[in-house]
Amino acid sequence: MTTNNITQAEVEHVASLAKLALTEQEKTIFTNQLDKIFEVVDTLAEVDTEGVEPTYSMTDGENELREDEAVDAKQRAALLKNAPETQETLIKVPAILTAGEDK
């Protein structure tokens, strides 16, 4: 069995890519956990799968598709009633962008 031996530096690198701040204890924990995961993957790689058909689905069923059909559910009034603020037939929300903002 080949062990990948993930290093703490690799864990730190992935954490930085994900913009995660890890403590030294967390780095050690994740390094050990990932190393164990890679050991399991290595074990699975040793299984002889020659002649085994890939499993694409757990059932033999096929998707039953229907045509998309627009319907008027006549629920606009109920929807607008639940909105905190409306304007005519629209839900009014706070602006997230303002003119001239440099951000």
CATH number at residue 32: 1.10.20
User: Which segments in the chain show pLDDT lower than 50?
Assistant: 1
Residue 19 inside a domain? The answer is yes
Note whether residue 52 is domain-resident: no
Phi, psi angles (nearest 5°) of residue 60 = -90, -5
Instruction: Please state the pTM of the whole predicted model.
Output: 0.47
Tell me if 25 is assigned to some domain.
yes
Is residue 92 in a domain?
A: no
Give the three-state DSSP class for 86.
strand
* Per-residue buried b or exposed e for 26-39, using 16+ beta carbons within 10 Å of the residue's own CB: eeeebbeebeeeee
pLDDT of residue 1: 46
Q: Rounded to an integer, what distance in angstroms lies between the CA atom of residue 83 and that of residue 90? A: 9
Question: Quick check: 4 and 35 in contact, CB under 8 A?
Answer: yes
Which residue type occupies 76?
R
On whether residue 37 sits in a domain, the answer given is: yes
The DSSP code for 19 is: T
Domain that holds residue 31: 8-46
d(CA 11, CA 5): 11
Residue 58 lies in a domain: no
Q: What is the mean pLDDT of the chain?
A: 87
pLDDT the model gives residue 11: 95
